[in-house]
Each structure stands twice: as structure tokens, then as C-alpha cells.
Amino acid sequence: MSEPFGTLSDGTAVHRWTLERAGTRVEVLTYGGIVRSVQVPDREGRTADVVLGFAGLDGYLAHPGPYFGALAGRYANRIAGARFPLDGAVHTLEPNDGPNSLHGGARGFARRVWAAEPAGRHGVRLHRVSPHGEEGFPGRVEVSATYSLDAAGALRIAYEAVTDAPTVLNLTNHSYFNLAGSGQAGGHHLRLAASRFTPVDADLIPTGVLQDVTGSRFDFRASRQVGSGYDHNFVLDKGVTGTPEEVAELHDPVSGRTLTVATTEPGLQLYTADHLTAPFAPGGGIALETQHFPDSPNRPRFPSTVLRPGEVFRSETVYGFSVG
């Protein structure tokens, strides 16, 4: 189901698509590919929205910085110095995070209106063309993101893209999960299938080291309370895979809701949102951003994010919901 959700200042209409299946109800906006709402029941059968979002378009326009529920790209996460080398040329991007590029620049994919069409009975396909030079990135990129609910009520997001010139690409969804439906999320319990993480400098740029989590606060290989103070990429043990494999489990002991995350991606950014401001409180949600590593275009040892003509970029992440 599609319905109007507001209009931008230039007159562009924004629509909301609603998907419902097997007890899960999801709302997706054509503005920014935003997951506005995910409603699932708790152990008592009471339904609540488990992602942070706004009732109207004005909320997203007034609070763009946290990327609530948005599709981040062309390059999700940070590129150091807002520049990177590719095939002997250095490409300069628009800095929007101090000296660095974050989530594709000042607008990126998160502040664009996407075209939309149904994808089967329980899905919507968003698509757009990112022109050559958009925010400094080379190549004309045709990109799509298909949001769908499977028979178990899991939310699947499948990305595809092609380019007419060599470029870099890294896509993710930036939803903040709060399985309680309100209050703080730091009391949730998290398990990550990651034996290493990428330490960062003061600007949150990876140092290039892949550090063992053993004996540190970054060890989530056994489920434990999340707490706060995280904005770090975890190196998933499985690496890049052709089909999604489960890598994370987030559980709220109070409501009984559990979120599982399966992905084809090699990394997961854990962000505990310690700096959220009104209308949400610090720590009000937890982002689990499946992606390639931050600053990969400047780190040849990291998994490559280069996309070339003739290749097809594919990535898929599945968010499953259950109670216990």
C-alpha cells in the first residue's frame, strides 16, 4: 500500500509504502529509503514500534544528522580526508564530518527522493540514478533497494547497482532499534559473530589494524548487555558471502523481543547513539549497520569496495523478529 507522506519545499512528493506479513508491519519512505516504522509483538502479544522515527516528514527534515532509518550511500560510513585514490587518480569528495566524508556527503542517498514500484505482494523496490560526479564520486550509478517481508515476517533489504565507470560503493540501512519500544536500549543484550574490530582515531577513522576482541569491551561473541560508548566497525568472522548468514542477535529481556541480523556483508557498525538529542534521548536506540569497512577506499588491506563497469553490486541483509 502506498500513500502520500508529505511534500518537499521544491514540490517533490514523498510517499509511504506499508508492508505487512506474519505479524510484522513495516513502513518505508521514498525520501531517503527510510524505514520509518517496524511494528512487531512482544511476548504478551502487544505490538510496538521497534525503530526510531518521526510521525511526519517534517521530523526527518528537521533532524537529518542521525540518519534515522535511512539508506546511506554512495559510501556508508566514513572516508578519511574526503578523498580516495582509484586507478591512479585521486577523487575529492564533499566533506560533511569535519575533514571527512560521511554516508556519501551532505545529501548522499539519505536525502533524495527515490522512485518506487511494487516488488511482489509484500515488497517495494526503490531505485534512482546517481549521476557522475554526485558529491564528488565518479561514475553514473544505477542503484536499487528492494524492501520485502518473507513468510516469517523478516524484513529483507536487497541492494543492486551497476556503474558506467570505476567507482566505490558501500550501502547500508541506518535504523536505530529499540526492542522495548521506548526508553533506553543500552540494557539490550547483544551477540556478534566477530572476533576482531577496527580501532579508530579521534575522528573515528580506522587505524588500519584488525584487533582481536578477546578480553576487551568489544567482545560480544557471547551475548551480554550492550551498554554505551560504541561507534565501531566489527570484522565479521564469516567475511563476504554470497547469501546472508546470521551475524548478530539483539534481545530485550523485558519485552522478550529478539532481533536477528543476517547479511552478505563483511562488517557491522555498532552505534549506541550516545549523542542523540530531543525528541529522542541519548542511547534511545542501537544501530547495527551491515556494510564494508569504513575508509576501505584508502585501505588496500580491507575488503574492496570498488565497482567497475560490467560488474553488478549485490548486497542483502535480513532482519528477523521473534519473542522468547
Alpha-carbon distance of 119 to 123, in angstroms, equals 5
Could you say which of 174, 188, 232, 251 is catalytic? Answer: 174
Parallel, antiparallel, or unpaired for β 306-307 and 224-225? unpaired
Sequence ranges of the binding site for beta-D-galactose: 77-78, 174-176, 231
CA distances from 57 to 31, 34, 112, 172 (A): 9, 11, 13, 21
Judge whether 314 and 264 are in contact, CB under 8 Å: yes
Judge whether 74 and 169 are in contact, CB under 8 Å: yes
Parallel, antiparallel, or unpaired for β 224-225 and 211-212? unpaired
Show Cβ contacts of residue 33 under 8 Å, excluding neighbours closer than 6 positions: 70, 71, 109, 110, 114, 126, 145, 147, 173
Alpha-carbon distance of 220 to 93, in angstroms, equals 34
Q: 251 catalytic, yes or no?
A: no
Three-state DSSP class for residue 298: helix
Alpha-carbon distance of 35 to 146, in angstroms, equals 12
CA distances from 132 to 74, 172, 286, 310, 313 (A): 12, 21, 34, 16, 17
Strand partners, 19: 26
Q: 91 catalytic, yes or no?
A: no
R_g of the chain computed on alpha carbons: 18
In the DSSP assignment, the letter for residue 297 is G
The dihedrals phi and psi of 61, each to the nearest 5 degrees, come to -70, -35
> Catalytic site residues?
174, 289
